Structure 1
Amino acid sequence: MSFTYFQLFAASLLSVVTYLLLQRRQRPPLPFPPGPKGLPLIGNLRDLPNEPGSWLKYEKLGRDIGSDILHLELFGMHLVVLNSEKASNDLLEKRSSIYSDRPQLKTLAELLDLGSWSLSFFPYGSKWRDWTKALYVHLQPAGVRRYHPVQTKAARQLLSNLLDTPQDFLKHTRQMVGQATLKIAYGFDVDPRDDPNIARTDDALQGISVAQSRGNIFNFVPFLIHFPWWFPGIGFKKDADIYKRKLEQSRDIPYEAVKRALEENRAAPSIAASMITDLSEKSTPEAIFMARGLPHNIYAGGIDTTTAAVQSFVLAMVLYPEVQKRAREEIDSVLGHGHLPEFGDQDALPYLKAILYEVLRWNPLAPLGVPHLLTENDVYNGYFIPAGSMIFFNSWAILHDPTTYPEPSKFKPERFLDPAARAPLPDATFGFGRRICPGRFLALDTVWITIAGMLAAFEFLPAIDADGRPVPPAQEFVFLLAS
């Protein structure tokens, strides 16, 4: 058996080498975008970041070569990084008909089977359009207002939890986001401190993080997916089956619970309940599968990013006490001391909204987003971008461009208030074109009501060491969708 797999490996390797040599002999009609010079066969393998902060390296590479569009090649695969809002708009927005596909990342789409039910990984086509259309019915700007009571209740519960155990604020903020989104998606009233549905999904989502760190080899050497798990370098394949089952359980268990509750006439209003109710005996298998998978997209797709935004806000308040003071003064002057903001107060609290925008700009939730896939050959500014290229938009570089956001490393909400030099809203944090995050309006509302209540109720200070001296907080971020 081992000899058979060795033969298969040798034949596959020979095929890959032959393919790459043929590819290199085919000269493009125009030069590729600028990028570091690669080596034969492996291309820019040595230039790919192998540590956290890859968006920083890509931004520096682009700056060093004087280009806002960066090209790298890896085993014949073309990677293009867009380091400016103009390039991202020109390609991902204005040419969205050919830049809206997704590369089929073997590790996530196939080994974990996310390609069949996670909207982020769907290829651009009829299935993606159908699921996106169904999602927008529930998450369009006017529609998300119906969820304001749910979001307000979860934010108020967070304040109570923080009052009891402020040292557990990381856990409490994640619990708050889970409480709101589970209620919206499935109608569940969750345990305000430790809920099994939240724990189950958190455990399953760890598989995505592990897959990106341990299973990336399958994305660049796809034929290895057919090898057994004990083959050198692909041990993750054994664990992938475990994570796949966990992800399916996190999707199916709440769906089946809502289905039973509807049959027993005790289901609370939710997106899942609405979709199940709309099914009929004539519904297609795809419609039934959509009702099973789409609510989980809302929960799983938002819990990490929304939680990260709230936690980044806390960090900013500790680092910039003057911002915290000004925001609290605005709340007190509008609402009076001791009153918690409501959604109806948003227009009367412009500085608070500016803080929300600055949180999204200062610490982008997905610095390199989820890659797009180019479906046709294209030419941009005299450069040739071949079909099949993976396109990354570097939202960190876009939102830290000093020509657009002066002193970008500083947390300055006032940049969104000055009429003479008002900065553009940080829309890049949610993506570009037809693949822009469909849950952005829900996320914005959740973060706003949360930080509004936290500012009204608490003061954020650094920790104190044994000698009574303040301990500066660490500024270290971990991103699930960083590459």
Structure 2
Amino acid sequence: MVLIGLVGLPLVGNLIDMPCNKERATFAHWGKEYGDIASVSILGQCIVIVNSAQVAIDMLDKKSSIFSDRLVLVMKALGLTPYGARFRDYHRRAYQLFENNAAMKQFLPPEELETRRLLKRLLVKPEDLSTPIRRTTGAISLRIIYGYEVQEEEDLFVELAEQDMHQFSLSVTSGRFLVNLIPSCKSLDLVRYVPDWFPGAEFKRIAKMWASTRSDLGGVDTTAASIYAFFKAMVLFPEVQVKAQAEIDAVVGIDRLPGFDDRERLPYINALVLEVSRWHSVVPTGVPHRVTEDDVHSGYFIPKGTIVFANIWYGDISSPKGLFGTENKEPELDPYKVSFGFGRRVLADASIFHLLCYGYCEDGIVFEPDTETTSGTVSHPALFKCTIKPRNEKGLFAASTRRES
């Protein structure tokens, strides 16, 4: 059966239909119009949009041997390794390191240390929420991956990581750089001869700027986006903050800060980790996959080389009824399984739990920001104002100092 989707123009196909921003909303609309599996074509390049959690799992997880390849990106900020022997070797090594909670215990001390430092940074400059969150998530990644301790003031490696994640988010956005989607442009020899002034050749100017920024810190931006979304949610839903604070007070008390050893006794906080992931999907359209061989899925023929986007944005940010854009869907039992795309995400889960748990050690002002989010592969809540105040400043500093010494 032939894939169903938008009718395109001769030669260019759906070139003018591909969104350059708020792509998740456009994909959700296509899902309502054409079903869970919709398709478009750009200059002969087949693109499939998946708007169903179950279909995405069946396709990208259960058939990962042929759906795990990545795009050959002309505008790539990170080395998105194609599926093959090299990728499998990387995956095997990472899996051995992060395969279960027991293996993860070696990384908990630096996470606790950097999270406590975050509390101090918030007290020094409480009006600036985004910067210390980004610094903390970057510091955790640099410590775990490279053993590098971030400097308290401006740190070059943190700045490079932030630049690179911003570039990565833009480079894999569906319509941001059409040069990535046009098959003939995959040849760098051809792209080289496109003049800088040519309409649509903005990618050449940006590529020169990106050339000096290359790193490998994939967890920085997504974790920071989740933590920032948590603070925004607590401003929007103060009654949830009250319940969470009550649980921490009952389990942990007021004389110390929470730790990972308390996690099993904090079911409400654990539920909030999942809910923040559902409420704000940090990678709403996922990182695009590429099919390595012909396949038939649910009766639809999917040719080799097809690009697949899994739209995990659920449409209405105020409604918990579903994760995806299509209507009348049952909620996911575990939204965390798809909120970061498809694959293992144990490390981020630990980081988010700790940062969310500590967030309840402060009280935010009553202020209602909007629920707008940024475009791009990695989605952040729109900036908002919030003042952080500790309930026990002396106790907070004392507890942090004891654990750092």
Place the TM-score, normalised by the shorter chain, in its bin. 0.7 to 0.9
In structure 2, the partner of 1:60 is 29
Q: In 1, distance between residues paired with 2:222 and 2:166?
A: 14
Letter paired with 2:7: K
Pairwise CA distance, 1:426: 2.6
Q: In 1, distance between residues paired with 2:316 and 2:301?
A: 26
Of structures 1 and 2, the one scoring higher in RCO (CA 8 A, sep 6+) is 2
In structure 2, the partner of 1:477 is 373
Pairwise CA distance, 1:458: 0.3
Letter paired with 1:340: L
Q: In 2, distance between residues paired with 1:368 and 1:203?
A: 21
In structure 1, the partner of 2:235 is 318
In structure 2, the partner of 1:131 is 90
Pairwise CA distance, 1:161: 1.1
In structure 2, the partner of 1:278 is none
Q: In 2, distance between residues paired with 1:218 and 1:58?
A: 18
Q: Is the contact made by 1:157 and 1:192 (CA closer than 8 Å) also made in structure 2?
A: no
In structure 2, the partner of 1:7 is none
Q: Is the contact made by 2:223 and 2:352 (CA closer than 8 Å) also made in structure 1?
A: yes
Letter paired with 1:68: D
Q: In 2, distance between residues paired with 1:352 and 1:146?
A: 22
In structure 2, the partner of 1:158 is 118
Q: Deviations over 1:184-209 (max 9, x none)?
A: 12222222343222123323444435
- From 422, 427, 430, give the equivalent of 2:337: 427
- From 440, 443, 466, give the equivalent of 2:348: 443
1:101 aligns with 2:64: no
- Relative to 1, partners in 2 of residues 1:347 and 1:380: Cα closer, same or farther, differing over 3 Å? same
- Relative to 1, partners in 2 of residues 1:195 and 1:326: Cα closer, same or farther, differing over 3 Å? same
Q: Is the contact made by 2:48 and 2:309 (CA closer than 8 Å) also made in structure 1?
A: yes
Q: In 2, distance between residues paired with 1:78 and 1:200?
A: 34
1:379 is paired with a residue whose SS is strand
Structure 2, unaligned stretches of length 5 or more?
A: 325-330, 380-405
Residues 297-316 of structure 1 correspond to what in structure 2 (within 5 A)?
297=216, 300-316=217-233
1:350 aligns with 2:310: no
1:192 aligns with 2:88: no
Q: In 2, distance between residues paired with 1:393 and 1:320?
A: 29
Q: In 1, distance between residues paired with 2:13 and 2:232?
A: 39
Pairwise CA distance, 1:482: 5.7
- Relative to 1, partners in 2 of residues 1:144 and 1:327: Cα closer, same or farther, differing over 3 Å? same
1:327 aligns with 2:327: no
Q: Is the contact made by 2:282 and 2:378 (CA closer than 8 Å) also made in structure 1?
A: no
- Relative to 1, partners in 2 of residues 1:336 and 1:214: Cα closer, same or farther, differing over 3 Å? closer
Q: In 2, distance between residues paired with 1:311 and 1:197?
A: 21
Q: Is the contact made by 2:221 and 2:378 (CA closer than 8 Å) also made in structure 1?
A: no
Name the % identity: 32
Pairwise CA distance, 1:308: 0.4
2:359 is paired with a residue whose SS is helix
Letter paired with 1:478: T
1:397 is paired with a residue whose SS is coil
Letter paired with 1:172: P
Question: What value does the CA root-mean-square deviation take over the aligned residues?
Answer: 2.6
Q: In 2, distance between residues paired with 1:215 and 1:68?
A: 25
Pairwise CA distance, 1:333: 1.1
Letter paired with 2:333: A
Q: In 1, distance between residues paired with 2:341 and 2:164?
A: 25
Q: In 1, distance between residues paired with 2:242 and 2:236?
A: 12
Q: Deviations over 1:55-89 (max 9, x none)?
A: 11111221133x11111111111111111112112
Residues 9-158 of structure 1 correspond to what in structure 2 (within 5 A)?
30-32=1-3, 34-51=4-21, 53-65=22-34, 67-108=35-76, 114=78, 118=79, 121-141=80-100, 142-158=102-118
Structure 1, unaligned stretches of length 5 or more?
A: 1-29, 252-296, 410-420, 463-469
- Relative to 1, partners in 2 of residues 1:88 and 1:207: Cα closer, same or farther, differing over 3 Å? closer
Q: In 2, distance between residues paired with 1:39 and 1:354?
A: 47
Q: Deviations over 1:81-109 (max 9, x none)?
A: 1111121122112222211111212211x
Mean CA deviation greater in 170-179 or 214-223: 214-223
Q: In 1, distance between residues paired with 2:125 and 2:363?
A: 14
Q: Is the contact made by 2:37 and 2:48 (CA closer than 8 Å) also made in structure 1?
A: yes
- Relative to 1, partners in 2 of residues 1:328 and 1:68: Cα closer, same or farther, differing over 3 Å? same
- Relative to 1, partners in 2 of residues 1:126 and 1:408: Cα closer, same or farther, differing over 3 Å? closer
1:460 aligns with 2:364: yes
Pairwise CA distance, 1:218: 4.6
- From 176, 199, 207, give the equivalent of 2:136: 176
1:244 aligns with 2:211: yes
1:245 is paired with a residue whose SS is coil
Letter paired with 2:113: K
Q: Is the contact made by 2:165 and 2:221 (CA closer than 8 Å) also made in structure 1?
A: no
Q: Is the contact made by 1:72 and 1:78 (CA closer than 8 Å) also made in structure 2?
A: yes
Structure 1 or 2, whichever has the larger Rg, is 1
- From 181, 188, 192, give the equivalent of 1:226: 192
Q: Is the contact made by 2:45 and 2:181 (CA closer than 8 Å) also made in structure 1?
A: no
In structure 2, the partner of 1:20 is none
